Structure formats: C-alpha cells, structure tokens
C-alpha cells in the first residue's frame, strides 16, 4: 500500500469516528442549549470546562503528543519495538506524576484561576461561585485526558487509529446521559454536566487499554528518568508548551474580553466554534493525525522528497474539504444554527447572534485547517521552536485585533471571532514561507492551482445553496420537518454542484477522492 493510500485510509478511520463523535457532540450541545440556553449556567460551565481543556492541549495533546510521536517513531524505525516501548513506559510514569500534581493544584487554586480567566464574572457572585465549583469538579479530567493523549501517540505511531478516535464518543455519551438522568437531582442542574465530564474521562482511558494490549503494549511504571530520549522529548516539549500556550492564550483573551461583553457572548462564541470544529475535527485533525507518523518516518530516514510530497498531498486534500465547508457554513449559517439549537431557552435572537459568530469564524476555517497540517510537518522534523515563534507573533496580532474589532469598531463577540480568523491566516502564510525556505520547493504552485479550482467550485455551490434555502422563515420554531428537509436538500444539492464543478475543472483531488471511494467499495466487496 502506498503512503498516500495509508494516509487516506488512516484519515478515513479517524474522520469516520470523529464524525460520529461530532454528531454526538452536537446532540450534547443541543441538550445543553435546551436545558441551559445561553445564560448564567451555560456561561459558567463553558468557562469551567475550558480550563481542563486548555491544560489538555497545553500539556497533553498540545505538547507531549507532538514531542513524543517523532522520537517514539524514530526508535521504532532505527532501533527496536522493545526500546520504543521502554520509552513509552517512562513517558507514562512522568506524565502520570505531573498530571496528579496539576489536578491537585487546580482544585486548590480554582478561585484564583477563574478570577483570571473571567474577571467580568466578579460582578455576579452567583456566576463566579458556580464557575469555581464546576472547575473543582472537572479539574481531575486533565489526568485522564492527558494519559489518553499519550496512548493516542503510542497507538498512532503503531498505525492504529481506531481507539483514540473513538474515545471522544464516550465523553459525549456520558455528558448527554448525565444531563438527561441527573440534572433534576441537583439544585444547580448544570452540575450534572460536570459529573458527566469526569465519568466520560474515566471511560475514555479504560477504552485504550485493550487496544494497547492487542498491539503488544503493557504500560507500567518505569522510573528510568535518565533515559537519553527523555531529555530529547523534554527539549522538544518545552517550546511546544509555549506554542500551545500561545494558541490557548488566544482562547483565554477571547474569553476574557467576552466576559465584559453582554451576557451570552461567551456562549455565542462557544456554539459557533463547535460548528467550526466539525469540519476541522473530521478532516483537518484527521489528516494531520494520519500524516504525522508518516512524515516522522520520512524525517527519521532523511527522505525529504517523500516528506514534501506527503505534505503537498495532505494540504490539497484538506483544502478540498474545508474550503467548500467554509463557504457552506457562511451561506447556511442561520439555517444550521436554527435547526441545531433553536429550542427551549435558545430563541431566534440567540440564533442570529450565534450565526454572526459563525460567519466570522468561518472566514478563517481553511487557514486553521492548513495550520493543522503544516505544524505537524515541523514537529516531524523535531523542530518545535519555529511554530512557537510564529504562534507568539500571531498571538499579539490576535490580541490587538480582538480589542479593536470588539470595541472601537463595535463588532462585539463577532469581532473576537474575526480576530481569530485573521490571525490564523497570518499564521499559515508565515509558516508556509518558513517551511519553503527550509525544505526548498514544497509544491506551493500545485497547491495554489488546486485551491483556485476548489474555490471557484465552492463559490458556485454557495450561491446555489443560499438561493435554495432562503425561501423559508428560519425564525419560525414550528415546521421543523420542513426546515430539515430544505436544509438537507440544500446540502445534497450543494455537494452535487461542488463535485460536478470539480469534475469539469479537472480537480486533481476530485479524482483522488473518487479513487479512494472506489478502492474502499471494491475492498468491501472482496
């Protein structure tokens, strides 16, 4: 099997389970929107849940995984599986100790953390107290999700992608069941969500162990901290922590500024960002996850030509999906938010304000997706410093843009979303230039030609689906069946128009997509 097919197959596995997770995630958000709307309880939960998520990306997925996978893959490639598994045990031991310490400190320091994260909450003692309580309940989630991230790195390096991609499904199920079954037993019903998060984290971690054993991995404590690879992972991890911190600081700034905006602003941004994460998680993250082990192996073998070819393929593949997704979200933002969330406490005005945030987030969707492919390329080269430097530059740009767009220009929460998009575009452009300088030609012309064809097909698609779906009043809560039929029909028509245009424009990615589907069908028949 060629590496391109391996990447596509792995991305398909990750994407399929991520799609299931996102569907359940939307059901989860519908449940949250129905029970808690976009008021005090929802704002408190989203801020509290953002803190363990921030640490997850900062210390686990954001730094450990991307630092661990290239070194672990190098040991698999150049040494032996036994040596690689010894390294995995040491990493498991160190990470467990760090995560226990962080969880304890987080529970103790929750009041201080919340006052820093959302200073605007101080004016509402009830909201502040609830947010602190939710944070203390959910902080141990970082322990479970951190170890899950390590398991994900090990399994992905061994070319197993199912268990890591499946684990978020358990979290969403746990949160949904918790709200439906436990909320009525609490004076503050939103506490049920926090319980669901912890239970979900436990089940996510348990899921990994059977798959690890099947791959011959039995994690155990190993205190050989003098192992030479530990220092290498640490040196790679340190700048990766700062890089993840810079990205997460963007989220922190948005939350901080939004806490001074009208009540509900944090929730509008959350719901809109969840919609953006749908195509990102299914396609961009899936392709980035699938391509990292391949590029790490090429880098270990110093096979830079194949590495660049894999990068070009991954970029063109991710743009083929995210550019039409971007146009579709812009054209159908109100219908999508209306169908998914407009019920219970989530009224039409909330729908319009959430759709406004979705519009501005969507502008940068393609760039965020591109960064998810470019950054793993630097990590495969064991260069975590360059993405950090650029992340810091774009961080300051995002801060300035957020303040200017939200207040002087009066865009409010929409300005925060637009600032994120603009800074993401800057991040992608700078990283591409630096990577081209380091590796030489990386097929930018080929990618540009591909993007041009994809963009033209997407614009035609967007115009048609907008005209098709603007015929009914999306602010009417009744007639949900008609709304679903119109939106579903618009999506089907849009997909058909996009693929037809891609065919006539002879888009290379269209034919690659057709070959992948055909091979999959033929494989199932056999």
Using CA atoms, how far residue 231 sits from 147, 185, 248, 330, in Å, is 20, 49, 25, 46
CB of 279 closer than 8 Å to CB of 325: yes
CB of 416 closer than 8 Å to CB of 254: yes
CB of 316 closer than 8 Å to CB of 343: no
The pLDDT assigned to 136 comes to 92
Using CA atoms, how far residue 135 sits from 180, 264, 317, 423, in Å, is 21, 19, 39, 29
The pLDDT assigned to 3 comes to 64
The pLDDT assigned to 455 comes to 94
Tell me if 224 is assigned to some domain.
yes
- Residue 287 burial by Cβ neighbours in a 10 Å radius (0-12, 13-18, 19+): buried
Handedness of CA 285, 289, 290, 296 (dihedral sign): positive
What is the pLDDT tens value at each position of the chain, 526 positions in all?
466 667 767 767 777 777 787 788 878 888 888 888 767 888 888 888 877 777 666 665 556 667 787 888 888 888 888 888 898 899 899 889 988 998 999 899 998 988 887 787 878 888 889 999 999 999 999 899 888 888 888 887 887 777 877 888 898 999 999 999 998 888 888 899 999 999 999 999 999 999 998 888 888 888 888 888 888 887 777 776 666 566 567 766 777 788 788 878 888 888 888 788 778 877 777 777 777 777 877 887 878 888 888 888 888 888 998 999 999 999 999 999 988 888 777 888 888 999 999 999 999 999 988 888 888 788 778 787 888 888 888 888 998 999 999 888 878 889 999 998 999 899 999 998 998 888 887 778 888 899 999 999 999 999 999 999 887 878 775 677 888 889 999 999 999 999 999 999 988 888 777 766 666 555 544 4
The pLDDT assigned to 294 comes to 79
Tell me if 345 is assigned to some domain.
no
State which residues form the domain around 172: 24-239
Q: Give dist(CA 223, CA 153) in Å, integer.
A: 20
Q: Which DSSP helix (H) or strand (E) runs through 107?
A: helix 81-108
C-alpha closest to that of 239 among 66, 51, 428: 66
Tell me if 488 is assigned to some domain.
no
Q: What is the pTM of this model?
A: 0.71
Tell me if 150 is assigned to some domain.
yes
Q: How many CA atoms lie within 13 A of 65 on its CB side?
A: 27
Q: Give dist(CA 355, CA 342) in Å, integer.
A: 11
C-alpha closest to that of 145 among 62, 234, 236, 77: 62
The pLDDT assigned to 241 comes to 67
The pLDDT assigned to 58 comes to 66
Backbone conformation region of residue 440, classed left if phi is above 0, alpha if psi is from -120 to 50, else beta: left
Tell me if 127 is assigned to some domain.
yes
Dihedral, CA of residue 520, residue 523, residue 525 and residue 526, to nearest 10: 180
- Given the structure tokens 């063109």, which residue do they identify? 316
- Residue 205, both tokens: 């971690």
Using CA atoms, how far residue 123 sits from 115, 120, 128, 260, 525, in Å, is 11, 6, 8, 10, 63
Tell me if 32 is assigned to some domain.
yes
How many domains are there within the chain? 1
Tell me if 209 is assigned to some domain.
yes
Tell me if 277 is assigned to some domain.
no
């Amino acid at each position: 099997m060629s590496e391109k097919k391996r990447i596509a197959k792995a991305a398909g596995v990750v994407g399929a389970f991520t799609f299931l997770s996102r569907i359940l995630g939307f059901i989860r958000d519908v449940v949250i929107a129905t029970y808690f709307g976009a008021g005090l309880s929802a704002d408190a939960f989203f801020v509290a849940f953002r803190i363990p998520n921030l640490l997850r990306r900062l210390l686990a997925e954001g730094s450990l995984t991307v630092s661990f996978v290239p070194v672990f893959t190098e040991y698999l490639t150049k040494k032996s599986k036994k040596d690689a598994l010894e390294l995995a045990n040491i990493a498991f031991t160190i990470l467990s100790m760090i995560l226990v310490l962080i969880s304890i400190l987080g529970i103790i320091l929750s009041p201080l953390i919340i006052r820093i994260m959302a200073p605007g909450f101080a004016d509402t003692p009830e909201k502040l107290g609830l947010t602190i309580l939710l944070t203390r309940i959910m902080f141990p989630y970082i322990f479970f999700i951190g170890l899950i991230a390590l398991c994900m790195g090990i399994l992905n390096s061994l070319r197993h992608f199912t268990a890591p991609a499946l684990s978020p499904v358990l979290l969403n199920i746990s949160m949904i069941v918790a709200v439906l079954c436990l909320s009525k037993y609490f004076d503050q019903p939103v506490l049920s969500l926090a319980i669901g998060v912890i239970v979900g984290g436990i089940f996510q971690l348990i899921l990994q162990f059977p798959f690890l054993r099947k791959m011959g991995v039995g994690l155990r404590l190993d205190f050989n901290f003098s192992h030479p690879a530990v220092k290498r992972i640490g040196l790679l991890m340190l700048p990766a922590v700062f890089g993840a911190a810079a990205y997460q600081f963007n989220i922190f700034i948005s939350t901080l500024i939004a806490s001074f905006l009208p009540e509900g602003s944090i929730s509008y941004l959350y719901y809109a960002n969840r919609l953006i994460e749908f195509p990102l998680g299914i396609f961009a993250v899936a392709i980035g996850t699938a391509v990292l082990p391949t590029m790490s192996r090429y880098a270990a073998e110093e096979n830079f030509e194949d590495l660049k070819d894999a990068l070009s393929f991954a970029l063109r593949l991710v743009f083929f999906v995210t550019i039409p997704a971007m146009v579709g979200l812009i054209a159908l933002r109100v219908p999508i938010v209306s169908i998914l969330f407009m019920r219970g406490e989530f009224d039409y005005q909330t729908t319009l304000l959430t759709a406004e945030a979705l519009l501005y987030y969507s502008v940068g969707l393609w760039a965020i997706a591109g960064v998810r492919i470019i950054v793993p390329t630097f990590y495969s080269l064991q260069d975590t410093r360059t993405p950090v430097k650029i992340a810091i530059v774009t961080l300051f740009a995002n801060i300035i843009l957020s303040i200017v767009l939200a207040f002087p220009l009066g865009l409010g929460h929409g300005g925060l979303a637009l600032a994120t998009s603009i800074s993401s575009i800057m991040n992608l452009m700078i990283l591409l230039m630096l990577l081209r300088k380091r590796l030489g030609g990386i097929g930018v012309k080929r990618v540009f030609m591909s993007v041009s064809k994809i963009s033209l097909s997407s614009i035609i698609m967007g115009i048609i689906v907008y005209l098709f779906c603007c015929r009914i009043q999306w602010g009417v809560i009744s007639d949900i069946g008609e709304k679903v039929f119109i939106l579903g029909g618009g999506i089907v028509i849009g997909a058909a128009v996009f693929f037809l245009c891609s065919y006539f424009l002879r888009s290379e990615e269209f034919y690659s997509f057709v070959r992948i589907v055909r091979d999959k069908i033929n494989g199932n028949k056999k």
